[in-house]
Chains A and B, each alone.
Chain A
Amino acid sequence: MNRIENAFKNKKAFIAFLTAGDPTFDSSFENIMSAVKAGADLIEIGIPFSDPIAEGVVIQGADLRALKSGMTTDRAFELAKMVRKETEIPLVFMTYLNPVFKYGYDRFFAKCKEIGIDGLICPDMPFEEKDEADAFAKKHGISIISMIAPTSEERIKSIAESAEGFLYIVSSMGVTGVRSEIKTDLASIMESVKKYAKVPAAIGFGVSTTEQADKMARLSDGVIVGSAIVRIIEKFGEKSAPEIYKFVKSMTDAVHSI
């Protein structure tokens, strides 16, 4: 059984997103390890990008802080390697296509395999454009995680049928960020996802409270939380680890008790 499948085994999964190098290399390592110790089932490590068009202001801020602290694709691999030494938790990279393209698809996925990264999420690589990267991802056994949005409609079938790892269900229109209310009819989206998908599906975008996490996890196989975690780092800087532990613990408790 691969690591990603394991994350969803016999339970709802809590997925935490953190940006590599936010606000520094060392503190981002501590923050990731806090999330792991607090019971997160999968970690999305963001490789910062100068122009993250699918992110709201909170994660844009993380990208800027990380790039300022000297984070690069190579340094993100170093960070992931340190995390992998400590734990067998599934790790996926989340970044934009250009850093991956520029690194070279073959070289990027080979490095992922060498270090023990399980997947890649690229919000600007839709279904129609994923083949060129996917050929190399498959060669090295890395899953490209596909996204489904509230506007996907009849596209759900083809995306879900070919999905690997897990499916990332985008809860709302627009960009990432904390939302007070999620209005999309996720129940009907999940219904058609389940009809076609062979992999689990987790809901992300806008989830920040235990109540929302509970609600989203009941609708799906797991919950993805990014901006709410990054907001803690925005506030506590290099001293975020204990706060992240507390927050992730409350979220995993909520999700795992379903």
Chain B
Amino acid sequence: MNNGRYGDFGGQYIPETLMNEIHKLEEAYEHYSKDPDFIAELDKLNREYANRPSLLYYAEKMTKDLGGAKIYFKREDLNHTGSHKINNVLGQCLLAKKMGKTRIIAETGAGQHGVAAATAAALMDLECEIFMGKEDTVRQALNVYRMELLGAKVHPVTTGTMTLKDAVNEAMRDWSSRVDDTLYVLGSVMGPHPFPMMVRDFQSVISREAREQILEMEGKLPTAVMACVGGGSNAMGMFYNFINDKDVRLIGCEAAGRGVHTGETAATIATGSVGVFHGMKSLFCQNEYGQIAPVYSISAGLDYPGIGPEHAYLHSIGRAEYVPVTDDEAVGAFEYIARTEGIICAVESAHAVAHLMKIAPEMKKDDIIICCLSGRGDKDVAAIARYRGIDLHE
């Protein structure tokens, strides 16, 4: 990596107030990512606290039902806190401790990163404040209470569209007022360098395990690996150790909301253009004057107008494919995998499952697909019921 650039994408487009702190973080990460004690400590946390390695599960019923490629799920939904987000927060919070920080802040959309951050903060005795769009605190009220149970303070963000991008804005504003004791634990492979690299490294455990597991179970590499993409952290984690395996297709599934032509979408690769925002040069949903566009998806975790710079790069060189998946398709897949495999996955992950259901039948029986189930879907049950017009009263 050179100076946080992936081709032309990436960089460090942040206010001067944060520059020295971001350089300190770069140095600290550079040091500790090679420190055997740090690596051993993180490995222990992953095994004994987060429940790693996560299972690589052969979905026999779906394979038979869809009648094409052999389907495997990488079960990040079985991690402690219920999603892949724990992989990143354990790494960043451990780093925060090593840097002598006593407080972390984080943004959250669906609440999965917020819950994970609050969890790691509780474990490591760090003060924790979470920024969450007010709209999302309503959509995901249970997760707000969960974070509070874990000892975090949740700030509902009332600026802009009151969703994930506004939560990031507010976290950046808070960080620029208080760098001495605070690390901003960013939740995805986005933001200024070193975040895209650091978060990718912590998430790459997904593909490191999956690659070993599939070789052991099948004796060969998969035909394709796939994952949902908002900012893109579970996808980067799922792709990373397969990037050099040129024959393995990498497929990212974006949230198309009501459809890429409706204006109510969050599919950045399908509808965005190059821009500079949230500390990085990447692709963003924006208008002709560079104003960031409001985005929409049924999934609060994919409801973000940008995408991590390494994804923008993998897209630009044609190494990874990105496809839009609508709310309707995702909800259909959410229900299908529940009925067929007995797995209630996150509505985010259901975007990847939906595309899997399209491509698996067209593939040969000796093809293998690994799809990342980034999280579990308990948090989404009420929203899915609402989508189907069912009013749940307790």
What residues of chain A have their CB less than 8 Å away from a CB belonging to chain B?
A: 49-51, 53-54, 56-57, 60, 67, 72-74, 96-103, 123-129, 146-153, 155, 159, 170, 173-175
Contacts and interface: CB of A to CB of B under 8 A. Distances in A.
B291 A149 contact: no
Most buried by A among B159, B160, B277: B277
B91 interface: no
Contact of A102 (B16, B159, B165, B286): B286
Give the size range of B's interface with the partner: 35 or more
A171 B234 CA distance: 40
Most buried by B among A57, A60, A175: A175
B291 A175 contact: no
Contacts of A174: 17, 173, 176-178
Contacts of A50: 160, 291-292
B292 A101 contact: no
B231 interface: no
Interface stretch (B6-14, B40-48, B251-259, B347-355): B6-14
> What DSSP secondary structure best describes chain B's contact surface?
mixed
Contacts, number: 115
A101 B169 contact: no
B100 interface: no
Interface in B12-29: 12-21
B168 to A, nearest CB: 8
Given A98-B292, A101-B274, A174-B173, 19 more contacts: A50-B291, A51-B166, A53-B169, A53-B278, A56-B173, A60-B159, A72-B289, A73-B289, A73-B290, A98-B275, A102-B290, A126-B12, A126-B19, A129-B12, A149-B16, A149-B19, A155-B16, A173-B177, A173-B179
Given A49-B291, A102-B288, A155-B19, A126 B178 contact: no
A99 B275 CA distance: 9
A131 B278 CA distance: 19
B263 interface: no
Interface of B: 11-21, 159-160, 165-166, 169, 172-173, 176-179, 273-279, 284, 286, 288-292
Contacts of B166: 51
A148 B16 contact: yes
Most buried by A among B15, B20, B173, B278: B15
B12 A51 contact: no
A67 B290 CA distance: 12
Contacts of B172: 53
Contacts of B178: 173-174
Contacts of A153: 20
A175 to B, nearest CB: 5
Contacts of A150: 17
A101 B275 CA distance: 7
Given A51-B277, A129-B11, A151-B17, A99 B179 contact: no
Contacts of A126: 12-16, 19
Most buried by A among B278, B284, B289: B289
A223 B20 CA distance: 25
B17 A102 contact: no
Contacts of B20: 151-153, 155
Contacts of B17: 54, 149-151, 170, 173-174
A-B pairs, 6 with minimum CB distance: A102-B290, A174-B177, A149-B17, A98-B290, A99-B290, A50-B291
A125 B19 CA distance: 11
A247 B334 CA distance: 60
22 contacts: A49-B290, A49-B291, A51-B160, A51-B169, A53-B15, A53-B173, A56-B173, A67-B291, A96-B277, A98-B275, A98-B276, A100-B290, A102-B290, A103-B290, A124-B279, A126-B19, A128-B19, A147-B15, A149-B16, A149-B19, A155-B19, A159-B16
Nearest to A56: B173
B146 to A, nearest CB: 28
Nearest to A99: B290
B12 A98 contact: no
Nearest to B22: A126
Contacts of A159: 16
A56 B174 CA distance: 10
Given A98-B292, A101-B290, A173-B177, A124 B15 contact: yes
A174 B176 CA distance: 5
Contacts of B277: 51, 96, 98
A7 to B, nearest CB: 22
A66 to B, nearest CB: 11
A73 B20 CA distance: 31
Nearest to B8: A132
Contact of B19 (A72, A101, A127, A175): A127
A122 to B, nearest CB: 9
Given A125-B13, A147-B15, A155-B19, A99 B279 contact: no
A183 B12 CA distance: 28
B173 A51 contact: no
Given A127-B16, A129-B12, A51 B165 contact: yes
B179 to A, nearest CB: 7
A124 B292 contact: no
Given A126-B14, A127-B16, A151-B17, A99 B291 contact: yes
Nearest to B172: A53
A153 B11 CA distance: 21
Contacts of B13: 97, 124-126, 129
A170 B19 CA distance: 13
B231 to A, nearest CB: 15
Contacts of B288: 102
A99 B12 contact: no
A67 B278 CA distance: 20
A152 B23 CA distance: 11
Contacts of A96: 277
A254 to B, nearest CB: 27
Contacts of A74: 289
